[in-house]
Amino acid sequence: MKPFPKSPIAYLWLYAMKNKKIFLPLAICGILSVVLEKMSPYLFSQMVALFGEESKFADIENKIWFLLTGMVLATVFAKVLSNIFHYLSAVRFRATVYKQMSLDCFRYINGHSVSYFADNMAGSLAQKSEQLAGNASFYSALFYYLSDIVQLIVIFVMLMSVNIMFACAFMGFLLLSILVLFRIGKLSINLRSAMVEAKNKVSGQMIDTLQNNFFVRVFNGFDYEKKRLHKELLSESKITNKSVNVEALQSQGEKLYFQIIYILFLFYGFYLWKIGQIKAADMVLIFLLLQNVSDTVSYLIHRGIIYSGVFAEMRTNLIPFSQPHEIEDAVNASPLQVKQGNIEFRHVNFGYHKNRLLFKNFNLTIPAGQKVGIVGASGGGKSSLINLLQRFFDVSSGEILIDGQNIKAVTQDSLHQAISYVPQTSSLLERSIAENIAYGRVGATLTEVKKAAKDAYAAEFIEALPNGYKTLLNAQNQLSGGQMQRLSIARALLKDAPILVLDEATSALDSESEFYIQKAIEKMLQGKTVIAVAHRLSTLKNMDRIIVLEKGKIAEDGTLEELLNCKGKFYQYWTLQKLEGAKHE
């Protein structure tokens, strides 16, 4: 999916063009309704001109009836077209575009890499996504705004038919008003943009605290978080007050300005009538047109400044959506075909910083069906290795192959479909237990879900819950760490992918939970290529091979027995853990 346009106008135009079948009839109805609406003052002025002629009523009667009929028809059709315009813009177009924007925003923001979400608050991104999709309702206001601009163009054309100099003065007034008032409005625009950022910071701060409520509570951090929030609220309040005051001054200034201009135009019209440049009927037309023009121009300038603020807000919200995805599928990417499950890291170079590589010319081959344990000190590259395999990050050079296929040349969806991943901390959605397990294979039956739960030793505690598999996982229905991890394993069992990645899946569990989870993992290992990052070395007894990573390099590689006999790094880790275990007994 391509990035969104950076410009708000280009963004809105994009969805207008996606819905031409609604947009074009809408535009035609809007223009015609404005033209017909302005026909009534023009036809009325023509009637006034007829009354001013020294003719008998019988001579002009037919013309008057013709003009009256024209006024009625123009008014009726203008109203009908206006109603159609309102229906298409406020109902049909907005509903269609809102759905498209919501789906596109959801799809694009989720296409960013894991590192992007680590650097940006999820709450702030969700709010920007919601606000962008909400801009579908802005179309209605924009359509009416544009229809008023069309109205001014029609008025200008009518004034041209009356007096060219008067029409030119009118156009000069419009241009001067736009120039002066929009330049003054720049301050309001900048303040509005700063206000949006301040509000996003406040919202992000509150969501961040709520999402990490347990962590904040454990560290007694509510007072600290309150002070941080208070600081952000003070900043937001100052910017908001300044913005509101500037907009209020601008509004009052505009009203005075337009009242003076209106009076000056009327005097100018009387002057032209006095010197014989225009007729009395023309003066009537000018009077009728200027009555509406004053309000229309005032509305356009005032709303234009407000809409400039909306555009500033939209421009800010578009930033995450206009930034290219950090990791994208190749143009001709094909689905990954896994027949065996061979994995190969070939001459891989990678680092989180350009000038500091973690892996340098790293090579590793894991034959299909082999079960490999990965151990090592923190920062050695264990998690980075499995992140690279899942293409959460791209290698700087070299390649990672699965069954001879470079993972950069295949679609990310197919790559993730081929890998079952069980993290250290289970990630569960606020949905039912059955839905969480079925997430491993969308469309799975309840019977299949129950079997996976049974194989993961989770069925017993699930069925003991009042609502069983329908139990909604939320703050009111919390499970233990071991229970949640067994649900994650059930999900991975249901997925049944040919490659299994375990990222310290038992490191944060008690002995009883670890016992059940180890039994569940043993079932998962059958017939899979396995990479298991382990903190508890005792969990590696079923591995065919163990690799010790140290500063991005393979320090040791062999079976459990071979590494223990070598009495190297792995032997040191093993001995230390045995001593720690003996102390706790």
Query: Which of 382, 403, 411, 406 has its CA nearest to residue 395?
Result: 406
**Cα torsion through 160, 164, 170, 173, rounded to 10:** 140
Which residues touch 444 (CB under 8 Å, ≥6 apart)?
437, 438, 452, 494
Give the CATH number of the domain where residue 371 resides.
3.40.50.300
Query: Which of 373, 346, 350, 370 has its CA nearest to residue 360?
Result: 350
Residues 72 and 150 placed together within one structural domain of the fold: yes
Compute the average pLDDT of residues 154-158: 87
Q: What is the pLDDT of residue 204?
A: 83
Residues 52 and 176 placed together within one structural domain of the fold: yes
Q: Percent of the chain, pLDDT > 70?
A: 93
pLDDT digits (tens, 9 = 90+) for 107-139: 888 888 888 887 887 888 888 888 888 888 778
Task: Let me know: does 52 contact 279? Beta carbons within 8 Å.
Answer: yes
Task: Let me know: does 560 contact 388? Beta carbons within 8 Å.
Answer: no
Residues 136 and 210 placed together within one structural domain of the fold: yes
Query: What range does the domain containing 44 cover?
Result: 8-322
3-class SS of residue 437: helix
Residues 241 and 347 placed together within one structural domain of the fold: no
Q: What is the pLDDT of residue 52?
A: 64
Range with the largest mean pLDDT of 119-128, 263-272, 316-325 = 316-325
Residues 238 and 359 placed together within one structural domain of the fold: no
Does residue 309 carry a pLDDT above 80? no
Domain contains 487: no
Residues 317 and 351 placed together within one structural domain of the fold: no
Domain boundary among 322, 349, 381: 322
Least confident of 218-232, 418-432, 510-524: 510-524
Q: What is the pLDDT of residue 252?
A: 77
Domain boundary among 265, 287, 322: 322
Q: What is the pLDDT of residue 240?
A: 84
Range with the largest mean pLDDT of 52-61, 315-324, 423-432, 533-542 = 315-324
pLDDT digits (tens, 9 = 90+) for 19-68: 988 888 888 888 888 888 888 887 887 777 777 665 566 667 788 888 88
Phi, psi of 444 (to 5 degrees): -65, 145
Q: Which residue type does 459 have? A: A
Q: 153 pLDDT band (50/70/90 cuts)? A: confident
Q: What is the pLDDT of residue 394?
A: 92
Query: Which of 368, 330, 331, 362 has its CA nearest to residue 349?
Result: 362
Q: What is the pLDDT of residue 499?
A: 93
Domain contains 475: no
* DSSP class of 5: P
Compute the average pLDDT of residues 398-423: 93
Domain contains 430: no
Domain contains 459: no
Q: What is the pLDDT of residue 131?
A: 84
Q: What is the mean pLDDT of the chain?
A: 84
Q: How many domains does the structure of the chain reveal?
A: 2
Q: 553 pLDDT band (50/70/90 cuts)? A: very high
3-class SS of residue 227: helix
Does residue 401 carry a pLDDT above 70? yes
Does residue 187 carry a pLDDT above 90? no
3-class SS of residue 421: strand
Residues 170 and 84 placed together within one structural domain of the fold: yes
Q: What is the pLDDT of residue 389?
A: 95
Does residue 189 carry a pLDDT above 70? no
Query: Which of 538, 530, 465, 534 has its CA nearest to residue 501?
Result: 530
Residues 263 and 377 placed together within one structural domain of the fold: no
Residues 110 and 14 placed together within one structural domain of the fold: yes
Residue whose structure tokens are 């151990």? 375
Compute the average pLDDT of residues 441-457: 90
Chain centroid to CA 524: 36
Least confident of 198-207, 472-481, 511-520: 511-520
Compute the average pLDDT of residues 222-247: 84
Q: 388 pLDDT band (50/70/90 cuts)? A: very high
Q: What is the pLDDT of residue 216?
A: 79
d(CA 73, CA 32): 13
Task: Let me know: does 136 contact 97? Beta carbons within 8 Å.
Answer: yes
pLDDT digits (tens, 9 = 90+) for 269-293: 888 888 888 888 888 888 788 776 7
d(CA 119, CA 515): 36
Range with the largest mean pLDDT of 5-9, 68-72, 219-223, 389-393 = 389-393
Compute the average pLDDT of residues 288-314: 76
Q: What is the pLDDT of residue 556?
A: 93
Does residue 581 carry a pLDDT above 60? no
Domain boundary among 291, 322, 353: 322
Residues 209 and 356 placed together within one structural domain of the fold: no
Question: What number of CA atoms fall less than 13 Å from residue 402's CA on the CB side?
Answer: 29
Compute the average pLDDT of residues 425-432: 84
Query: Which of 518, 511, 566 has its CA nearest to residue 542?
Result: 518
Domain contains 22: yes
Q: What is the pLDDT of residue 415?
A: 94
Residues 281 and 376 placed together within one structural domain of the fold: no
Which of the two residues, 67 and 304, has the higher pLDDT score?
67
Least confident of 87-101, 366-380, 435-449: 87-101
Domain contains 217: yes
Domain contains 237: yes
Domain contains 378: yes
* DSSP class of 212: T
Give the CATH number of the domain where residue 23 resides.
1.20.1560.10
Task: Centre a 10 Å sphere on the Cβ of residue 214 and count the other Cβ atoms it contains.
Answer: 10
Q: 507 pLDDT band (50/70/90 cuts)? A: low
Compute the average pLDDT of residues 202-209: 84
pTM strictly above 0.85: no
Residues 61 and 125 placed together within one structural domain of the fold: yes
Q: What is the pLDDT of residue 418?
A: 94
Q: 186 pLDDT band (50/70/90 cuts)? A: low
pLDDT digits (tens, 9 = 90+) for 81-94: 888 888 888 788 88
What is the phi-psi region of residue 347: left when phi exceeds 0, alpha when psi lies from -120 to 50, beta otherwise? left
Phi, psi of 534 (to 5 degrees): -130, 140
Q: What is the pLDDT of residue 579?
A: 73
pLDDT digits (tens, 9 = 90+) for 479-492: 888 888 888 888 98
Does residue 223 carry a pLDDT above 70? yes
* DSSP class of 469: G
Phi, psi of 558 (to 5 degrees): 175, -175
Compute the average pLDDT of residues 132-150: 82
Least confident of 120-134, 451-465, 548-562: 120-134
